[in-house]
A and B are shown apart, each in its own frame.
Chain A
Amino acid sequence: MKPKILISSLTGCSGCISTLLSLDIFPQFLERTKIIYFPFIMDVEEIEECDIALIEGCVSEDSQVNLLKKIRKQTKKVYSIGTCAGFGGILSLSKKRIAEPVSKYIEIDGVIPGCPPPSKLLGNCLIKLIENREIDVDIPKKNLCATCPLRGEAEENFQTKITQINPNPEEIIPVEEDTECFLKRGILCLGPITRDGCEHVCIKEGLPCEGCMGPVSKSFFSNTINFISLIHLSKKIRNYDGIFYRFSKPTFKR
């Protein structure tokens, strides 16, 4: 029996869905599954029983909570696709709207992170899911520094003065063998508190990490505090909004 799939979007940009539709394996995915609900590409009415639900976008309205509960009830496994659904995403910057991860309202079986998730990662996960195998990407194992191509050996009493959050255009340099870690150059990089998996696309282009893959551990809040305690942020940066919660809302729950 082909697994029955439901794909639904909450508040987001459809970038995750458009990534899914352009995957190499998307034709194969269609063939090996039975999509029963996917309003972006088909006419649908009611939510029926299904095996796997993929949710894009954050929760920003009451009606979405009801939809999620309905989905949870009818579905064997529910996954958050992308940083919005996984951790709140870009709307975390908003002071007016709520932007919550799906997991705040229903139990989920995993997160496929990224804004949007890298194609390879998403494709591999989907294949595993239709073969009824576990996806383990949601277990944050490493931060981005662990495999970073830049030079930045850990030093004792690592103290660095951060004065910039973006390099000036004329300072952007392509990565070479001995390019130094951004933090050492006084530029904020969120690598230490961001999960691995993006293949360092920004860093390779000469830009620091902004955290779009989401937090490296469930204790994002304390991790961030630890990180901030290790670096010295200039006053201007300290007063600037939305560096650390650009893609994830910190939870204060203990």
Chain B
Amino acid sequence: MLKIVDVCTRVEGHGKVKIYLDNKNEEITQATFEIEAYRGFEHILKHKKLCDLPKIISRICGLCHASQSIASCKTIENIYGIEPSEQSILVRKLLMTGELIKSHSLHFFFQAFPDLLRIFNIHQKILSPYAIIKNYPQLTTIFFELIKIGNEIDKIFGGRSVHPITVIPGGVIYNPSKKNITLARKYFQKVLMNLEVVIERFIELFSKKIPPEEFMIPNPIFLGMHNHGIFDRYSGILGFKEDNKKITNFIEKNYTNYFNKDIDLNGIDFSIGNNILVGPLARNHIVESYDIEEVSNFLSVFDKTWYKNILFTNFIRLLEMYVETFKALELLNDPLVNKNESLLSLTNIKNMDGIGVVEAPRGILLHHYHLNKENSIDQIKLFIATEINIPLINHMITNYAQKLYEKTDIDTIKKEIQLIIRAFDPCISCATH
């Protein structure tokens, strides 16, 4: 059996594609996206003080650090049976929006956009950032600005742009000044203006095209969070659904009815089926509404062939940034955002199991901590979006590789299947927690 290996580029972290051939080299038996070098956070975190967890956990990922710390705080708050103040929740949401803007923009500009140009035959050879800058100066300026603003927003609300300081179990220790609220408002307004341009550009470039079939997701089961049907990445319930079927809702506490993991083995076991998808496109199928009128207009431009195509995720990413920025501006107008509230004390442990969930930029992020009799953490399980998507990625790249092998050589295949991988925006740091 022959095995061909290639290193993935333009993804976050170190991943490899492996292509396995049968004995006669006549058929591809399997193609896989593999991540190695697990760091073992689930072991490192055992018996750490609860207050230390969010700070250590955020170091799992420099792109979804805020989601990681916030999921951790929600889990700890569940252990103490407390609810943070409204003010804390507003600041946490603003922080998550900054993170989303930066993470989605980085992926779109450096990783997805060059691929889209190639897939739709607009530009074949735009592979280095220098080439995009040269050919798309306006988009370049816009994206550099979006990335920078995302970073600045997190600096304002997190105290530091990566690995937030302000988010602690029980709430947040930050109360924005009038000056910072004004500054944040200016930033968000700028983001909205920029996104309008980008969304129009996207529609103009791609909406009339037919997305290639190999990027269609075969029989997906979408998994995501929603708040009474409305898009919300901080609070709500979980739901999964197959295409055109009814949604099954459940609360995070009952997650083991649907999935679980053994931390010493790779991967997550699902009892609801294969081909689970989390992330922006899954959220798009799970939520009934983004609660903003323009969004339905934007979406209606694309015909149905796009809806289950993983390339559509790129458009949904732009929409999500738009929606959250819009909502962030509303949050900033809420008088509660800088209301002085005292922090909750962490005194009485109510539950020996804590479970907390948020929607990180790349999808569901669920933490589960278990305490022993001495109230010390003896088991930690982290369910991370990229880990959930990997079986589906492997399924799709195997299909595509097999199809391509009928007409082209292995070297081309190993590059081609990376287009699918990148469309998922895998975060290898997270997946190798």
Collect the chain B residues with CB atoms within 8 Å of residue A202's CB: 159, 165
- Segment of A131-139, A162-170, A176-184, A217-225 in the binding face: A162-170
Residues of B95-121 at the interface with A, using a CB-CB cut-off of 8 Å, are 102, 106, 110-111
- Segment of B39-47, B252-260, B323-331, B350-358 in the binding face: B39-47
Q: Does B48 contact A (CB under 8 A)?
A: yes
Known: A42-B9, A42-B129. A207 touches B165 (CB 8 A): yes
Collect the chain A residues with CB atoms within 8 Å of residue B24's CB: none
Collect the chain A residues with CB atoms within 8 Å of residue B348's CB: none
Query: How far is the CB of B153 from the nearest CB of chain A, in Å?
Result: 11
Q: Does A40 contact B (CB under 8 A)?
A: yes
Q: Does B212 contact A (CB under 8 A)?
A: no
Query: How far is the CB of A146 from the nearest CB of chain B, in Å?
Result: 21
Q: Does B362 contact A (CB under 8 A)?
A: no
Q: Which of B10, B11, B39, B128 has the most CB of A within 10 A?
A: B39
Q: Does B28 contact A (CB under 8 A)?
A: no
Contact B165 A115 (CB under 8 A): no
Collect the chain A residues with CB atoms within 8 Å of residue B345's CB: 168-170
Contact A22 B168 (CB under 8 A): no
Contact A205 B159 (CB under 8 A): yes
Q: How far is the CA of A119 from the CA of B52 in the complex (A)?
A: 24
Q: How many residues of B contact A (CB 8 A)?
A: 60
Contact B166 A205 (CB under 8 A): yes
Query: How far is the CB of B261 from the nearest CB of chain A, in Å?
Result: 18
Q: Does A13 contact B (CB under 8 A)?
A: yes
- Segment of A23-31, A70-78, A152-160 in the binding face: A23-31
Q: Does A14 contact B (CB under 8 A)?
A: yes
Q: Does B93 contact A (CB under 8 A)?
A: no
Question: How would residues 182 to 208 of chain A score, 1 for a CB under 8 Å from any chain B CB and 0 otherwise?
Answer: 000000000000000000011001110
Q: How far is the CA of A115 from the CA of B165 in the complex (A)?
A: 12
The prevalent SS among residues of A at the interface is loop
Q: Does B151 contact A (CB under 8 A)?
A: yes
**B346's closest neighbor in chain A, by CB?**
A169
Contact A43 B162 (CB under 8 A): no
Contact B62 A13 (CB under 8 A): yes
Contact B40 A97 (CB under 8 A): yes
Q: Which of B37, B155, B343, B429 contacts A13 (CB 8 A)?
A: B429
Q: How far is the CA of A97 from the CA of B345 in the complex (A)?
A: 35
Q: Which of A18, A19, A40 has the most CB of B within 10 A?
A: A18
Q: Which of B40, B127, B147 contacts A96 (CB 8 A)?
A: B40
Collect the chain A residues with CB atoms within 8 Å of residue B65's CB: 13, 15
Contact B110 A13 (CB under 8 A): no
Question: How would residues 18 to 62 of chain B score, 1 for a CB under 8 Å from any chain A CB and 0 otherwise?
Answer: 000000000000000000010110011001110110011001111
Contact A166 B51 (CB under 8 A): yes
Contact A94 B62 (CB under 8 A): no
Contact B39 A11 (CB under 8 A): yes
Known: A40-B10, A93-B56, A169-B345. A17 touches B130 (CB 8 A): no
Contact B7 A39 (CB under 8 A): yes
Q: Does A41 contact B (CB under 8 A)?
A: yes
Contact A12 B343 (CB under 8 A): no
Q: Does B203 contact A (CB under 8 A)?
A: no
Residues of B128-145 at the interface with A, using a CB-CB cut-off of 8 Å, are 128-130, 133, 140, 144
Question: How would residues 149 to 175 of chain B score, 1 for a CB under 8 Å from any chain A CB and 0 otherwise?
Answer: 011000100011111011011110110
Would you mind naming 18 contact pairs between A and B with Cβ atoms under 8 Å apart? A13-B59, A14-B12, A15-B163, A18-B102, A18-B162, A26-B148, A39-B7, A42-B110, A91-B44, A94-B44, A95-B44, A96-B40, A97-B39, A97-B40, A119-B155, A170-B345, A172-B173, A206-B173
